[in-house]
Structure 1
Amino acid sequence: MRRKIAKFSILPVFAGSMFFSFSTKEAANLEMFSTSNLDLEYTVSFEEPETEIPEVHSDLPILGKSYLGFKEAVGFKESGGRYSVVNEYGYMGKYQFGKGTLELIGVYNPTEFLNSPELQEAAFYANASRNKWILIRDIARFEGKVINGVEVTESGILAAAHLAGPGSVKKYLRSWGATAFSDAFGTSIRNYMKRFGGYDTSFVNPERRAKAVIQPTRT
């Protein structure tokens, strides 16, 4: 993930009246997903931008709306799908991870990370899994709703969390889009929700302590 800046807030409107009530059963099902004491702002930074990674102009393979299609679309947007990319801020790999985010999912060796496509793919899944766990309540509340002209979907939420961090996505959703966020290149939560909406991310299991683990190859 490239370094993110230009976060700004607008006074939330209709704050008290716009949330949804849950049945006792739904509330019980979501009670286990408590995010107290979790770091939700780990992707946000406040350094001034300099230059942007040049875009690679090529066609994505047709992968449909599967999880594979989702992660390849995000990787193409972040780096042109290149595993070896390191930007001027030190964000690394196909999905442009920062050092802090990688440490949260158990990756401590940047050189090993850059040299291992398998580890980068595992990191993407682990980060999505952790973000899904953090945002599970908000997925249940807002999926199918329309905010700032964009239908909210699970895949859009997970993509936005990859861009801005789960804390920023919580604030955006719970303010009905009034609390906004854009990265150094002007890419917003709304943009990612729209661009990556409608993919099937049911493959991603929510896990609080998700770690990037390379699965052994079957022979």
Structure 2
Amino acid sequence: MIKNSIKNFVLPFSMCVLMALALYPDSSLDPEMYSTEGLELDFNISGDLASLSDDQISNHKMFSPYLGKSFEGFKEALAFKESRGDYFTVNTLGYLGKYQFGAETLKLIGIYDPNNFLYNPELQEKAFVANTERNKWVLRKDIKRFEGKYIGGVEITESGILAAAHLAGPGSVKKFLRSYGKQNLSDAYGSSVKYYMKKFSGYDTSMITPNKKARVTL
């Protein structure tokens, strides 16, 4: 609490001093009178977040209070789960970037150079949208059939379906839904279709248009 109070005081105070210097350059205001000496200013936000559990991250207001359940909120929440939002990471299985794409999935949306993809944030963002459009087309009938129902205590929503499709592919999501949860595929790190259905439920993904032939173009 004390640390947060200091942090909340220092930034506004510093801004006031700078504004005064800019507005009154010839005044007798002496910047040497103002010092942050002795205050703890070394805040490692990424380190703080790394220590949180998934449930704490989901409820943590610092994780962008303005995105909420918007599509941007959906993208960033999913990206944080996949890679902590790191565009340039490669996991132990070779999945790439902020959203952890596999090479075969990239080919489906027209990307054939994984190395270029890894170092191109704009391409990664467009790839996420294109892949989500494609998955929504593949799962369009299942979304219509199952949205609003409960399977294994989890409410089925469009965003949950699309997140699970990003994790395990649309085919695995179809199997989960049509078996009413009996076929619940997990990835190599233990995340399951059902878990993603629950974790990413209730976001607004209405802006995504189903597109069988979705491709990435720059």
After TM superposition, the score normalised by the length of structure 1 is 0.71
CA RMSD of aligned residues (A): 1.3
Query: Larger Rg: 1 or 2?
Result: 2
1:56 deviates by 3.9
d(CA) in 2 for partners of 1:199 and 1:87?
A: 26
d(CA) in 2 for partners of 1:122 and 1:151?
A: 29
1:148 deviates by 0.7
Residue 75 of structure 1 pairs with residue 79 of structure 2: yes
**Which one-letter code corresponds to 1:191 in the other structure?**
Y
1:57 deviates by 4.9
Partner of 2:133: 129
Partner of 1:204: 208
> Would the alpha carbon gap of residues 57 and 94 (structure 1) be closer, same or farther in structure 2, given more than 3 Å must change?
farther
Unaligned runs of 5+ in 2: 1-48, 53-61
Residue 193 of structure 1 pairs with residue 197 of structure 2: yes
Residue 178 of structure 1 pairs with residue 182 of structure 2: yes
Match of 1:165 among 155, 166, 169: 169
Percent identity, aligned pairs only? 61
d(CA) in 1 for partners of 2:50 and 2:95?
A: 17
d(CA) in 1 for partners of 2:174 and 2:82?
A: 22
SS in 1 for 2:213: coil
d(CA) in 2 for partners of 1:107 and 1:61?
A: 30
d(CA) in 2 for partners of 1:75 and 1:186?
A: 17
Unaligned runs of 5+ in 1: 1-54, 215-219
Structure 2 matches for 1:9-158, cutoff 5 A?
Answer: 56-57=50-51, 59-62=62-65, 63-158=67-162
Give deviations 1:34-74, integer Å, cap 9, x for gaps: xxxxxxxxxxxxxxxxxxxxx84584222111110001000
> Would the alpha carbon gap of residues 57 and 206 (structure 1) be closer, same or farther in structure 2, given more than 3 Å must change?
farther
1:89 deviates by 1.7
1:212 deviates by 1.6
d(CA) in 2 for partners of 1:65 and 1:163?
A: 19
Give deviations 1:94-128, integer Å, cap 9, x for gaps: 00000000000001111211111100000000010
d(CA) in 2 for partners of 1:60 and 1:112?
A: 29
**Which one-letter code corresponds to 2:169 in the other structure?**
G
d(CA) in 2 for partners of 1:194 and 1:80?
A: 19
d(CA) in 1 for partners of 2:51 and 2:95?
A: 21
What is the number of residues matched between the two proteins? 160
d(CA) in 2 for partners of 1:123 and 1:97?
A: 9
Which is helix-richer, 1 or 2?
2
SS in 2 for 1:179: coil
**Which one-letter code corresponds to 1:61 in the other structure?**
S
